[in-house]
Amino acid sequence: MKRKRYTPEFKSQVVLEVLKEEKTMNQIASERGVHVNQLHNWKKQFLQEMPQIFDSQSKDLDRMKADYEETLESLYAEVGKLTTQLSWGKKKSGIYHD
Q: How far apart are CA 83 and CA 76, in angstroms?
A: 10
Is 12 domain-assigned?
A: yes
Instruction: Give domain status of residue 85, yes or no.
Output: yes
| Cα–Cα distance for residue pair 96/78, rounded to 1 Å | 21
Provide the number of structural domains found in the chain: 1
Query: Residue 6, by phi and psi: left (phi above 0), alpha (psi -120 to 50) or beta?
Result: beta
Q: How does pLDDT run across 24-76, given as a tens digit for each residue? A: 999 999 999 999 999 999 999 999 988 887 777 778 888 899 998 999 999 99
The answer to whether residue 2 is domain-embedded is no
The verdict on residue 35 lying in a domain is yes
Asked whether the predicted pLDDT for residue 79 surpasses 90, the reply is yes
Question: Is residue 15 included in any domain, yes or no?
Answer: yes
For residues 81 and 74, what is the distance between their CA atoms, to the nearest angstrom? 11
Instruction: Strands of 1-98 (E only): list them.
Output: none
The predicted model scores a pTM of 0.55
Q: Is residue 78 part of a domain?
A: yes
Say how many C-beta atoms besides its own lie within 10 A of residue 18's C-beta: 20
- Domain housing 42: 8-93
